[in-house]
Structure 1
Amino acid sequence: MPKIARRESPIIGFPEEDAQHLHHLHNNALVVSIRVGNYNMHRVLVDNGNSADIIYFPAFQQMRVDREWLILTNAPLVGFEGTKVFPLGVVTLLVTVGDYPQQITKDVTFLVVDYSSTYNAILGQPTLNSWKAATSTYHVMIKFPMDYRVGELQGNQVSTPECYISMLEMEDHQQTTCIEGQRTIAEPIEELEEVTLDESRPKRMTRIGTLASQPIRQAFAAFLRMNQDVFEWSHEDMPGIDPSVIVHKLNVNPASSPVRQKKQVFA
């Protein structure tokens, strides 16, 4: 049998030159932009610790993919807290990563999840293993072997903190909603007594507690009346404040006329 030349896979490495244009030190996640079908998808998290490739339902809807493409599945996703999320289904989409000519185009099977997330999709172990890809969070980059060369996909270091802040705000909102649903109205530890500060203006009053004795409450009320100038009921009670403290100014050239920008559509 004639010997067939064996083609060696290119060696993947991350030299220090790949990190020269980044801001250090950083602990940023690996967030990239890819092309899914005919759409450019931003805010895609690359997580080599995730056992599934996920696309979130809002992004799936914006791509206008027919729901008939979804294949039902009963396999749940389990998070860190043990919560189970059941996907809406499985869909296979054509994904392109990298810039020509260092790019690859392959089918990726995503789990479509109807869950709140600041990311549009997550690339996990199945795709990274099928691409034989290597990731480096220090270099914020993915590299994958190609024919006679190594392809690469650079992450977006700017969008990473934006995603993190959006996720924190989303979690705070969810926690507030959960707390408000179970919170009971707290009762005051003591009854409050209204004290009029100015007899000529009966609406200007405050409240003090009633646990103290009557002489102490009278002395406290007299003290508040003597120092009622510390209470401000409207902006008219605060003369002498420089308006520049509360005036917002735009640092623009007054000689330039304003221009209406075209509406920008983001992910």
Structure 2
Amino acid sequence: MKQARVGKTATISFNKDDCEGVIYPHDDALVVKMLVDNFNTRRILINNGSSADILFWDAFVRMGTDQNRLRPSPTPLNESLGETVQPVGSITLHVETRMSPCTATTMTDFLVVKTLSFYKAIAGRPTLDILKTVTSKYHLEMKFLRKMGIKEVHDEQGEVNEPLELVALDEANKKANARIKTRMKPKVRSRLKRLLAEHKDVFA
């Protein structure tokens, strides 16, 4: 499924390989983690339909950001939240998305709101456009074109309370085992098992 052409040489696309590690069927939103103001922030909703970047009050307080940095924001917000909410204010924060071995960074103007939400923040079109992001809800993934090539950021699906697999490291020693995540990509999972087996004296 081709999504977008960037420049003259690179095409950002999604295919069956991007389905690895995703639990189907699903109706999940695309939710990722980013560094916001140097704070590791999880549960950031990627919303291409939002014309604003939103930071919820609970996350703002946890970051320990000086509230005096908030600027007045008199315009009510309703399109992204399903209700009319008056922002506490707006603030510009550094946002960083890490994709080993590189990063994508920008300064984002967040509207800070006091309302209950499962999410910590919403990344809307302003940030997604600046970062030149292409998203796929079906694949629960977003991609960027960087100098080192196309980089991927995956959804957090299943990271919370993710089941673990017990891997036996030594058949002769029942206590020699390790636990690994079950929802990583199959190829990565297989390589990790081989690595544990080859170095069982270290991990057992």
Which TM-score applies when normalising by structure 2?
0.70
Identify the structure with bigger relative contact order (alpha carbons < 8 Å, sequence gap 6+). Answer: 2
Given that 1:92 and 1:107 are in contact with CA atoms closer than 8 Å, whether structure 2 keeps it comes out as yes
Contact 2:50 2:80 (C-alpha < 8 Å) held by counterparts: no
Provide the C-alpha distance between the structure 1 equivalents of 2:80 and 2:110, rounded to a whole number of angstroms: 20
List 4+ stretches of structure 1 deviating above 2 A: 7-10, 79-83
Given the alignment of the two structures, is residue 109 of structure 1 paired with residue 109 of structure 2, yes or no?
yes
- Could you tell me the percent identity over the aligned residues? 36
Contact preservation (8 Å) 2:140, 2:154: yes
Q: Is the 8 A contact 1:52 1:125 kept in 2?
A: yes
Q: 1:24 to 1:8 in 2, by over 3 A?
A: same
- Tell me, yes or no, if structure 1 residue 30 matches structure 2 residue 19: no
Q: 1:49 maps to what in 2?
A: 49
Pairwise CA RMSD: 2.5
Question: Is the alpha carbon distance of 1:8 and 1:32 closer, same or farther for their aligned partners in structure 2, counting shifts above 3 Å?
Answer: same
Q: 1:39 offset after TM fit, Å?
A: 1.2
Cα deviation, 1:149-208, whole Å, max 9, x if unaligned, reads 1122111112699xxxxxxxxxxxxxxxxxxxxxxxxxxxxxxxxxxxxxxxxxxxxxxx
Which of 102-111 and 86-95 deviates more? 102-111
Alpha-carbon distance between aligned partners in 2 of 1:10 and 1:56, rounded to the nearest angstrom: 36
- Name the structure where helix makes up a greater proportion of residues: 1
So what's the TM-score if we normalise by structure 1?
A: 0.54
Whole-Å separation in 2 of the counterparts to 1:14 and 1:38: 30
Query: What 5-or-longer segments of structure 2 have no aligned partner?
Result: 1-6, 162-204
Cα offset, 1:148, TM superposition: 4.6
Q: How far apart are the structure 1 equivalents of 2:82 and 2:137?
A: 27
Distance change >3 Å, CA 160–CA 108, structure 1 → 2: farther
Does the 8 Å contact 1:51/1:124 carry over to 2?
A: yes
What is the aligned partner in structure 1 of residue 169 from structure 2?
A: none
Tell me, in whole angstroms, the C-alpha distance in 1 between the residues paired with 2:96 and 2:136: 20
Residue pair 2:106, 2:127 contacting (<8 A) in 1 also? no
Q: Residue 65 of structure 2 corresponds to which residue in structure 1? A: 65
Deviation of 1:103 after TM superposition, in Å, equals: 2.1
Give the CA deviation at 1:81: 9.1
CA drift of 1:37 comes to 2.0
Distance in 2 between the 1:91 and 1:45 partners?
18
Alpha-carbon separation, structure 2, partners of 1:141 and 1:75: 32
* Structure 1 counterpart SS, 2:139: coil
One-letter amino acid of the counterpart of residue 158, structure 2: V
Contact 1:88 1:113 in 2 (8 A): yes
1:10–1:46: structure 2 CA closer, same or farther, 3 Å change rule? Answer: same
Q: CA deviation at 1:10?
A: 2.8
Cα distance change, pair 80–154 in 1 and its aligned pair in 2 (3 A): closer
Query: What residue ranges of structure 1 are gaps of 5+ in the alignment?
Result: 1-6, 162-267
Aligned residues: 157
Residues 10/68 of structure 1: CA separation in 2 closer, same or farther (3 Å cut): farther
Deviation for aligned residue 1:105: 1.5
Q: Say which one has the larger Rg.
A: 1
